[in-house]
Amino acid sequence: MTLEFLVASSIGVLVAGGIYLALRGRTFQVVLGLTLFSYAVNLFLFASGRLTLNAPPIWSKTVSDYADPLPQALVLTAIVITFGMTAFAVVLALRSFLETGSDQVDGDDAPCAPGDGPSADARREPRA
């Protein structure tokens, strides 16, 4: 099994799982889906500089084969941005759940299953 096959198939599995979860109706699953999806995207960006083994990271005049440094910088930026965005989405989803009593992404007022909602107990009792 080659390195390319491994990386490509793991990106594929992550994307498939991410898209499946992102299409679900509840915010928690959607957020998890977005996380998986952004992992896949980060790996993909990383691989866009080609997969190389044992190559120096930065160009030097003595070597002809080096790892492309730019995708690493891009991935770093992308990680920071998606991390921030995901954190925002989590807080927003939680806030929306507490304020509207529904964690449906499509905003319908579908009541949650019994015990799902922000019950009075959950809000009152301090967590151990």
Partner 1 sequence: MSLTAHLAIAPIVIPALAAPLALLLMRRTRHLAVSISFASCAAMLLAALVLLNASADGTIRTYALGDWPAPFGIVLVIDRLSSIMLTLAATMSMIALIHAVVTRADRKGWHFHPLFQFQMLGLNGAFLTGDLFNLFVFFEVLLIASYSLMLHGQGPARLKAGVQYVIVNIVGSSLFLIALGLLYALTGTLNMADMGLRVAALGPDDQGLLRVAALLLVSVFALKAALVPLHLWLPRTYAVTTPAIASLFAIMTKVGVYSIIRVVPQIFGDGAGAAAWAPAPYLLPAAALTAVVGFAGVFVARNLSEQAAYAVIGSTGTLLIAVAGWQPDTLAAAIYYLVHSTLAGAALFLVADVVARRRASFGDTATPGPVFSQRQLAGLLFMAAAIAATGLPPLSGFIGKLLILESVFDTPGWGWAWGVILATTLIGVIGFARTGSAIFWKETPPTDGARPVVVSKADMAAPAIAIALLAAWSIGAGPATAYGAAAANQILDAAATARAVLGEP
Interface residues with partner 1 (CB under 8 A) are: 22, 27, 30, 34, 37-38, 41-42, 44-45, 47-50, 68, 70-71, 74, 77-78, 81-82, 84-86, 88-89, 92-93, 95-96, 99-100, 105-107
CA 13 to CA 18: how far, in whole Å?
A: 8
Q: How far apart are CA 24 and CA 127, in angstroms?
A: 29
Closest CA to 26 of 118, 103, 89, 98: 103
When the beta carbons of 48 and 119 are compared against partner 1, the nearer one is: 48
Q: How far is the CB of 127 from partner 1 (least distance, A)?
A: 24
